[in-house]
Amino acid sequence: MTRHSRIRTGWAAGAAALALALVTGCEGLEADGDAPASGGGAQAPAAGHAVSPLDNPDGTEPGLAPVTGDSPQAAARKLIDGLPTKGRGPKTGYDRDEFGYAWMDTADGVPLARNGCDTRNDLLKRDGQEVRFKSGSDCVVIAMTLDDPYTGTSIEWRKQKASEVQIDHVVPLSYSWQMGSSRWPENKREQLANDPLNLLPVEGRVNSAKRDSGPASWLPPDKAVRCAYAVRFAQVAAKYELAVTEADRAMMAKQCQG
């Protein structure tokens, strides 16, 4: 499939939407059941084109544009090569609740916090195009077009089938737990779980397949964004002073060899 192919989901009036909360920290999008069947939402501006992670160090711009060219890829490798490595520890004691409740708006120290809109909807607004809101709301997204960074496809998303788009933690919460976040104070774990730098709306099936894998075990199906994905993974790890496994770092660097 090409980046311009369409996945048409259509409206499914009265259908019950699936809410997923994967223990890996990559979570689905629950429906609230009162989204208008058609035409009831306010029209929002398009989010614009995807931005390279090298030009988006705080994660507030949409998408994950490919990292291409000798100079950008050299900068990517420098970032990746600077990450410390260590072995992946046990998952003992991991629980999603250790990172706060899902999509909290009160995780201090990250962009978009305390703006009156939960993290999930902030991300849909950030990355979606032709966004439509629930009637009377400038927060709750009920429809949008998403250019999925992981598959290169375009998804016509409707809230009635919420799980067709999920929010991926680029550095999975379980992975972070095994690499040291188990020893962090809870407020720092809440930051990681709600930091837009670590969050991307993506196709649900691909997100479910990723689970809590590091880059040595899982990379986006679209090869064009694999260096960009490696950069984003490295940006999150560097910001939160997380080590990665040696195999993960080697695989990340390989994606940016040109």
Reference 176, options 61, 103, 98; nearest CA is 98
Q: How far apart are CA 252 and CA 257, in angstroms?
A: 9
Q: How far apart are CA 13 and CA 47, in angstroms?
A: 26
Q: How far apart are CA 130 and CA 47, in angstroms?
A: 8
Using pLDDT thresholds of 50, 70 and 90, give the confidence band for residue 118. Answer: very high
**Can you tell me whether residue 250 is helix, strand or coil?**
helix
Question: What pLDDT sits at residue 1?
Answer: 46
CB distance 210 to 157 below 8 Å: no
Question: What pLDDT sits at residue 258?
Answer: 75
Q: How far apart are CA 107 and CA 199, in angstroms?
A: 14
Written as six digits, the tokens of 195 are 């930091």
Written as six digits, the tokens of 128 are 């979606």
Percent of the chain topping pLDDT 70: 81
CB distance 153 to 5 below 8 Å: yes
Using pLDDT thresholds of 50, 70 and 90, give the confidence band for residue 56. Answer: very high
Residue 149 has pLDDT above 70, yes or no: yes
Burial class (CB in 10 A: 0-12, 13-18, 19+), 45: exposed
Burial class (CB in 10 A: 0-12, 13-18, 19+), 223: exposed
Residue 25 has pLDDT above 90, yes or no: no
> What mean pLDDT do residues 48-56 have?
89
Distances (CA, A) of 206 to 23, 27, 82, 85, 163: 16, 12, 29, 27, 11
CB distance 196 to 235 below 8 Å: no
Percent of the chain topping pLDDT 90: 81
**Can you tell me whether residue 243 is helix, strand or coil?**
coil
Residue 46 has pLDDT above 90, yes or no: no
Helix residue ranges per DSSP H, 106-158: 119-127
Q: Does the reported pTM lie above 0.75?
A: yes
> What mean pLDDT do residues 227-241 have?
98
Helix residue ranges per DSSP H, the chain: 70-81, 119-127, 173-178, 186-194, 204-210, 226-239, 246-255
HSE value, Cβ hemisphere, 13 Å, CA-based, for 196: 25
- The amino acid present at 109, given as its one-letter code, is G
Beta bridge partners of 168: 200
Question: What pLDDT sits at residue 133?
Answer: 97
Written as six digits, the tokens of 98 are 């250790």
Q: How far apart are CA 135 and CA 137, in angstroms?
A: 6
